[in-house]
Amino acid sequence: MAEKNETRVAAVADIHYGKTAKGKLRDLFVDATSTADVLVIAGDLTEYGSPEEATVLAEDLRTHVRIPVIAVLGNHDFESGKSAEVQSALESVGVTFLDGSGIEVNGVGFAGVCGFGGGFDRQMLSAWGEPLIKAFVQEGVDHSLRLGKALTNLTTEKRVVVLHYSPVRSTVKGENPEIYPFLGSSHLESVIDNFGASVVFHGHAHSGEAEGKTTKDIPVFNVALPVLMRTSKKPFLLYKV
C-alpha cells in the first residue's frame, strides 16, 4: 500500500515488443496494475518501430493494465520511420506520450523527452567542425531544451523525469565505453539539475548500471528491462514518490 500522499510508480523501459510478442509481458502488466498507481515505459516499446508491433503491445496494455501509462519513444520506435503511427496506436488505448510535455497524475508531475546522444561530462561532443557534427550536437541540445520547457510548466512539488537516453555516465557503466556517446548526454543532466526533479527514469543502456545520480544528487534509475532482470530479477522498478 502507498503511504498517504505517496504515489507508486512502476518503471520499465526497453520492452521491445515484436509482432509475435502477444502476452509476453502479461505478468509485468498485471503485477504493475495491482502494486502501482502509474506505469512508466521509458522508450523502446517496440523492436523495429512498426505500427504492427505497437498494435500488439496496445492490445496487451488494453487487456492487462488498469492504471495510467506514461511513455516516451525510444530509438527503436523510430527505426521504421513510422513513430507517429506507433504513438497513435498506443495513444488509442490511453498511453500518454511525453515529448517536451508534462502530465500530472495523483499530484505528481511527469516530464519527458526521448533524449539523444552526445556523451558525458568533459568527453561530451561539442558543436564544432562539420555541419553533421553540429546537427548531432544540436539534436541533443534540443531534447534538453524541450525537457526544460516541460519541467518549467509543471507546477507540482514532486516531479518525475522520463527519458530514453541517460542523463548521466554512472548508469551506462558496463556498456562498452566506445558507445557511451550514443547512450546519453550531459545536456539532459544540466537541465534536470537546473530545474529540479524528484527522480529520473531512463532506459537504452541494456548493459548499464541500475542506479546513479546527477551532480546535484537527484536519483537516476536505468530501468531497461535487461538491467532490471539482471540486478533485481523483477521486471519493473517500484518507486514511491
Q: Which is nearer to Fe ion, 14 or 37 (CB)?
A: 14
Position among 37, 44, 53, 175 found at the interface with Fe ion (CB under 5 A): 44
CB of 170 to Fe ion, least distance (A): 18
Q: Which is nearer to Fe ion, 75 or 106 (CB)?
A: 75
Q: Which stretch binds Fe ion (CB under 5 A): 21-29, 66-74, 84-92, 99-107?
A: 66-74
Residue 74 in the binding site for Fe ion (CB under 5 A): yes
Q: Which stretch binds Fe ion (CB under 5 A): 44-52, 80-88, 109-117, 171-179?
A: 44-52
Q: Which stretch binds Fe ion (CB under 5 A): 3-11, 36-44, 103-111, 152-160?
A: 36-44
Q: Which is nearer to Fe ion, 35 or 75 (CB)?
A: 75
By CB under 5 A, how many residues form the interface with Fe ion? 5
Q: Which is nearer to Fe ion, 74 or 118 (CB)?
A: 74
Q: Which is nearer to Fe ion, 74 or 117 (CB)?
A: 74
Position among 89, 204, 209, 239 found at the interface with Fe ion (CB under 5 A): 204
Least Cα distance to 16 among 47, 49, 51 occurs for 47
Assigned C-alpha cell, 42: 521509458
Yes or no: say if 209 and 174 are a contact pair by the CB < 8 Å rule: yes
- Residue list 1-30, contact with Fe ion (CB under 5 A): 14
Residue 75 in the binding site for Fe ion (CB under 5 A): yes
Residues that bind Fe ion (CB under 5 A): 14, 44, 74-75, 204
